[in-house]
Chain A
Amino acid sequence: MVATPQASTPSAWKAASRGSRSWTGWRFVGPFMAVFALVFLAPIGYSIHLSLFRTQLIGGTVFVGLDNYLKALGDPQLWAAFGRVALFLVVQVPIMLFLSLLMALAIDSGRLYGASFFRISVFLPYAVPAVVATLMWGFMYGTQFGLIADVNEVLGLSLPDPLSPGLVLTSIGNIVTWEFVGYNMLIFYSALRVVNPSLYEAAEMDGASQLRIVWAIKLPALRGALMIATIFSIIGSFQLFNEPSILKSLAPNAITTSFTPNLYAYSLSFAGQQFNYSATVAIVMGLITMIVAYVVQLRGARKGL
């Protein structure tokens, strides 16, 4: 009884694949796969290829194997940049997600006056391109002619310069929080909308307080959304580029060319013509980002169970 199906299954599968294998699925996936290979796999392949060579102004191009990777592992500028975005991740992401969570809960509570207006105005900054947002904040941060200068003048204060080396990372964190609070809020809010209202009714009948409802029903329902928002934010933090790159023209001495790993890779290739090493840095950072995101996802999934 048991042996017969085991013997027959492989031969049945063979018959199907030999004779009338269906390509319909591939035809559907084909266009996507072609584009995916062209714009995603090919550049990665090229970057890996690039990272195995070294091109010098004097001496031309030679194959160096993993030399560039060894150099990257011992490159203080790269690790300083990595440390900076890691700090950014540890401080900014929890603050941003906490604020988003509060706002989503506030809107979902149904006790907010003008909830839809509130929702759209919190979300609006996400619709502003990052470059424009950074320029706008850059003007406000100005201690010479910007908002800070005006505040100082009117109130007779001497506020610290948000673009000084000690504060510039915080200032960038502020911009990024402003940009993405609304986006994350929307993820959380939509997750809350799918909670079955009968759960709330049941909780109320049991005499649960609002806080208790948040703790026992809403937060567990948000776990998946929280995980997605966290992973997006991790990737975003490691890839921090637009904000420091734009602010660099306003604070050239506070934001170095190796301020974040992406900015470092950019400077290496476009100012230094070190395309090979730049590709190496990009790949190393890509791997680190993948590993961190994966570990977080694994841990989150385990907790979810």
Chain B
Amino acid sequence: MNTTRRHALLLAGALAVSLVATACGSSGQGGTEAAATRSAAMSDTDLQAALDAGGTITVSAWEPTLKQVVSGFQAKYPKVKVNLVNSGTNKDQYTALQNAIKAGSGVPDVAQIEYYALPQFALSKSVADLTAFGADKLDGTFTPGPWNSVRSGNGVYGLPMDSGPMALFYNKEVFDKHKIAVPATWEEYIAAARKLHAADPKAYITNDTGDAGFTTSMIWQAGGKPYQVDGAKVRVDFTDPGTRKFTTAWQQLVSEKLVAPITAWSDAWYKGLGDGSIATLIIGAWMPANLESGVKAGSGKWRVAPMPQWEAGGAASAENGGSSLAIPEASTNKALAYAFIKYANVDEGVQTRVDGGAFPATSAHLEAPAFQDKKFPYFGGQEVNQVLARSADQVVDGWSYLPYQVYANSVFNDTVGKAYVGGTTLQDGLKAWQDASITYAKDQGFSVQ
């Protein structure tokens, strides 16, 4: 059992490193904050000056289309060198980033951070407030969902890179074969789930083994507002009517074993999406590129429809995933970093990423006819972006994540996950999740209401 032992040593080592870092980090922070205030009046000319002076910045991100953006950026500004590194997807990235910030070294100049995780970095002042660079003037550039997600108080802590308004992706071949109509409401969706599984016991309407991001997005669409955050005050309440709407409906699917017990992004998942045993996905607008690259067997079979509604004729949607590019406070070249994220998320870089299959967060690109009318051969020639762009406009207002959502999501399966293996119900599981989230909030010095 040498390996387990070695791991413990590594852990101890990591702990040691982070300790040294705590000491340095706390003294260093005051200085950088002052520097940010001093540069409050940074204008476009200053940014241009930084670009002309050149330098090297490190961008830590996993978004695949950024590779082309970096080439374009370096071609335009030959004096700037951009190191694009991938330190893992979502929680791996946050672990690496948090460790680097704590250690005070190896911190990238630009980091990809998903919307749900950004408040945590903003609260701890680990990422810079971009109003110093004029980011507040970009109001109206982005669609409201992502734009609200990067703001906190008067600050702007990142620029939206992509967005994930949700839609119903469904396998038309399976639906046609069993003569099932595309569900427009959740009631119809549950009926479709029963009909499908009865007709083919190997086929499921969708997969779900308990996914925090999916669950919170579903509650978001149902109008639930379980998280209320005001600075250091938080309130967690999963008993509101919106949450109950979701749990009542979804519990039926879980109890009747109508959702496939397959975890998203696993090999079994990709296989199921290709062979028709997972018939639908309720997921963010960034999914088409993933289907095209990961599920070749599904080509021509999949279509996109609006998210099922809680009331017939409704038009509510929610965001699922989506990332921003933020600048860690410890970056030593913030002006250049800002010039890069502005290029990538507001200027020419957006088109580069759209061409690469990304779903942008900028209103202008979403409304462009070339974007909306693009026909996707994978989706049988459907103009998929029209459905997705409409969903972006219908995102329900007023949602917020916890300022420690990364932690909360990590214990989702400890609590709500039990409902998927028969130990409890979704509603009781959410209550346990709520309790765990509140305990953590108290531990971390938040005032809980």
Contact = CB atoms under 8 A, between A and B. Distances in A.
Contacts of A256: 413-414
A253 B8 contact: no
A142 B443 contact: no
B199 interface: no
Interface string A38-68: 0110111011011000011111110000000
Contact of B5 (A235, A253, A275): A235
Interface string B408-420: 0011011001101
Given A56-B443, A235-B1, A253-B420, A267 B410 contact: yes
A268 B403 CA distance: 17
A131 B9 CA distance: 17
A253 B22 contact: no
B29 to A, nearest CB: 10
Given A43-B16, A272-B440, A57 B403 contact: yes
Given A46-B16, A57-B444, A165-B421, A265 B3 contact: no
A180 interface: yes
A269 interface: yes
Contacts of A249: 263, 266
Nearest to A271: B410
Contact of A239 (B5, B13, B267, B404): B5
Contact of B418 (A42, A145, A253): A253
B446 interface: yes
B313 to A, nearest CB: 36
A129 interface: yes
Nearest to B440: A272
B268 A142 contact: yes
B241 interface: no
A271 B91 contact: yes
B410 A253 contact: no
Contacts of A130: 3-4
Q: Max chain A CB contacts within 10 Å: which of B98, B102, B210, B417?
A: B417
Interface in A2-56: 39-40, 42-44, 46-47, 49-50, 55-56
B198 interface: no
Interface string A156-194: 000000001100000000000000100000000000000
- Please list the 4 inter-chain residue pairs (A to B) with the smallest Cβ-Cβ separation, ordered nearest first: A236-B1, A253-B417, A58-B445, A271-B410
Interface of B: 1, 3-5, 7-9, 11-16, 18-20, 22, 26, 91, 95, 98, 102, 120, 123-124, 209-210, 232, 260-263, 266-268, 271, 403-404, 406-407, 410-411, 413-414, 417-418, 420-421, 423, 440, 443-446
Interface of A: 39-40, 42-44, 46-47, 49-50, 55-61, 129-131, 142-145, 164-165, 180, 232-233, 235-236, 239-242, 249-250, 252-254, 256-258, 262, 265-267, 269-275, 278-279, 282
